[in-house]
Amino acid sequence: MSQMNAMLMYVGESHGLVGDASPLQRSKILEFLSGLDDLRSVYTKAVYGGVCETDAELAKLLLEDTNRSALFGDSGRLARVNAVLAMKRAAESIPAGKPVFAVGSAMTVADISLAAVVDDLLVILPQVAEFPELKLVHEHVFALPALAEYVKVAPANRKQVNGNALGSGNSL
């Protein structure tokens, strides 16, 4: 198996992380994971492909909500995801402080994948922490015992994720 979403679904199904496992729930999870792939693609091009030369350009690309037509539109992807989770919180009367899950009413591989994206982006864009719903999903997922243990032994305080200085405060 070589595609990330296929592997995530396999692990999710093996560990009860695909909600009710109905075809509709599985499709919604795959849709969300595909959207995260789109976000990762933009992030990769921006950081490694020279699309952005400064932290400000990267922040504008990933954080500003300039396209309200799609969850993972051309820009503002994180703002849109945060807004969708906030709307879900309101619609389902989810109390403050409890995480809003990306798909369904329990944690799925979609939430774990979202938390991983947020974790990566926090290294180069501290502003990501200003999105309360994303921050809460990140905190909830990384509080899981296995992940909390990993974080304890993983290299702490990463200062940059690549060699081009984006996110280090010393961008080109």
pLDDT at residue 14, as a whole number: 92
Summary mean pLDDT of the chain: 78
Give the model's pLDDT for residue 166: 58
Beta carbons of 89 and 82 less than 8 angstroms apart: no
Regions of the chain where pLDDT drops below 50: 65, 68-75, 157, 170-172
- The pTM assigned to this predicted structure is 0.80
User: Contacts from 10-13 at CB under 8 Å and sequence distance 24+?
Assistant: 11/109, 12/108, 12/109
Residue with token string 């990933």? 62
Q: For 107-140, what is each residue's pLDDT tens digit?
A: 999 999 999 888 878 877 788 888 888 889 999 9
Note the pLDDT of residue 68.
Answer: 47
Percentage of residues in the chain with pLDDT exceeding 70? Answer: 80
As a whole-number percent, the residues of the chain with pLDDT over 90 amount to 12
What would the CATH number be for the domain defined by 4-153? 1.20.1050.10
Question: How many Å apart are CA 6 and CA 8, to the nearest integer?
Answer: 5
- pLDDT at 73 (0 to 100): 47
Going from N- to C-terminal start, the domains of the chain cover 4-153
Q: Are 121 and 127 in contact (CB under 8 A)?
A: no
Dihedral (CA of 1, 12, 24, 134) sign: negative
Contact indicator for 118, 138 with CB cutoff of 8 Å:
yes
